[in-house]
Amino acid sequence: MRKMAKTACVAAIATAALAMLVGVTQARRFSISSFSTRMVWQQMRFSSGLIPISCDVTLEGTLHERNITKRFETLVGYITRAEAEECSGGQVTLLTETLPWHTRYSSFSGTLPNITSMNLITQFRIQIRPTGQMACLAETTNIIPAIYSLVLMGSEVIEVFWATAGQLPLNMGCLWGTRLRLFGSGSVTVLGGASRVSISLI
């Protein structure tokens, strides 16, 4: 009798575990807590390897929907405002005439259902002028986009950092460099407030 009860208990646990695994496997979307977000970098660094510039950078954006499909390069929203200010080492201008910038889903890190980060793709143009140097243009391409990563602790986004695999190309004729890299981590909050954004699997 005890053996039969033990067997039934093991079977029930296995069935529950299998059901949970199937549910996680079938989860195809992420749910974001807010349609509108603000990302702020304190002294984000722009570097060609020789001449670094640091600026406070703000990017604000919106989502088309709060639920994001886990499909590579799915269009999920836009960057609608971009600003670089309080620069040291030179001048940086985010060329906002091309706004809004598309935001696309790239990938996630971690093992389902425990997500550690979500990676998003965007594209932009930057004019950068180190002190005493000529102004040059850095522009993302389809081959070398700008990728930023939203880092999670539990379901809350605790920071954002640039995860661009390659260095952004500088325009031909730039005398002080050929590639530009972005460094630094920032904060992510609900636009117009101080609350953190959360991401969950559905």
Beta bridge partners of 120: 105, 148
pLDDT at position 71 is 93
- Give the pLDDT score at 104: 96
pLDDT at 191: 96
Residue 157 resides in a domain: yes
In a domain, 102, yes or no: yes
Q: What is the pLDDT, as a whole number, of residue 165? A: 57
Q: Is residue 105 part of a domain?
A: yes
Any domain includes 8: no
Whether 108 maps to a domain, the answer reads yes
Report the chain's mean pLDDT, rounded to a whole number.
86
User: Domain count of the chain?
Assistant: 1
- Provide the whole-model pTM: 0.83
Q: Answer yes or no: is 120 within a domain.
A: yes
Predicted pLDDT at 158: 97
Confidence of residue 66 (pLDDT cuts 50, 70, 90): very high
Tell me the average pLDDT across 175-196: 94
The residue range of the domain holding 144 is 29-201
Domain assignment present for 160: yes
Average pLDDT, integer, range 93-103: 95
The answer as to whether 14 is a domain residue is no
Mean pLDDT, rounded, for 105-117: 92
